[in-house]
Structure 1
Amino acid sequence: MSSEHAPRRAQVIMVEPALSQLQKLTASETHRLDRVIVAIRVTPELGAQVPDTLLRDYADDVHGVRVIYYGMALRQNTIVAYVEA
């Protein structure tokens, strides 16, 4: 598949409290979180739908990371509300 036809990745925007949690992470935890954020950018439907909300809750047990987020219309933006590593 040429890059011209590659799937578009969503832009990731972090809001409070995700930003304050991010500042508390070690370099190793940030690296693990980065891998999960890339996966969410490519496939925004990862994670379980949180009932009665637009939020999705994705926990990656292999990397020990949890991200709560929601995708905007047309999958152009992914808003990260909470991170845990």
Structure 2
Amino acid sequence: MAPQQNPRRARIAFSDSAAKQVENITSEAEIHALDRALVVISVDPDVGEPIPGDTAGPRLRQYTDEVEAVRVLYFVTALRTVVVVAYIEV
């Protein structure tokens, strides 16, 4: 029997403002919490809740992990291969 392959994960990219937020994180615990949230989103980009809004631009989603106290706003590209992180709260 052939081994089952893991599903392909989406690549994570950051908007300029989200990249600046990441640069300002200094706590190891916050970095670990954000990393865990990004892995969840990359494996299943639909995990977050859609944010109501304008349909003209990309559809924003929100993923919240209450255990790790992380909130990530993001959108998924059309081919679903890239998740663009727009905003982070840790």
- Relative to the length of structure 1, the TM-score reads 0.90
Distance in 2 of aligned mates of 1:16 and 1:10: 19
Q: Which amino acid aligns with 1:20?
A: K
Identity, % of aligned pairs?
40
Q: CA deviation at 1:47?
A: 1.4
User: What amino acid maps onto 1:42 in structure 2?
Assistant: V
Give unmatched runs, 5+ long, in structure 2.
none
- Total equivalences in the alignment: 83
1:37-63, Cα deviation, whole Å (9 max, x unpaired): 000000101111011241001111010
How far the C-alpha of 1:24 sits from its partner, in A, is 1.4
The residue number in structure 2 matching 1:33 is 34
Please, which runs of 5 or more residues in structure 1 have no aligned partner? none
Note if 1:64 corresponds to 2:73: no
Q: Which residue pairs with 1:44 in the alignment?
A: 45
Q: Which amino acid aligns with 2:4?
A: S
- Letter of the 1:11 counterpart: R
Of residues 73, 79, 82, the one that matches 2:78 is: 73
Q: Supply the AA of the counterpart residue of 1:82.
A: Y
- Counterpart of 1:33, as a letter, is L
Q: Deviations over 1:63-83 (max 9, x none)?
A: 000000000112100000011
Q: Residue type matched to 1:49 in 2?
A: P
Q: Report runs of 4+ in structure 1 exceeding 4 Å deviation.
A: none
d(CA) in 1 for partners of 2:21 and 2:28?
Answer: 13
Structure 1 position 82 matched with structure 2 position 84? no
**Superposition TM-score, scaled by structure 2 size:** 0.85
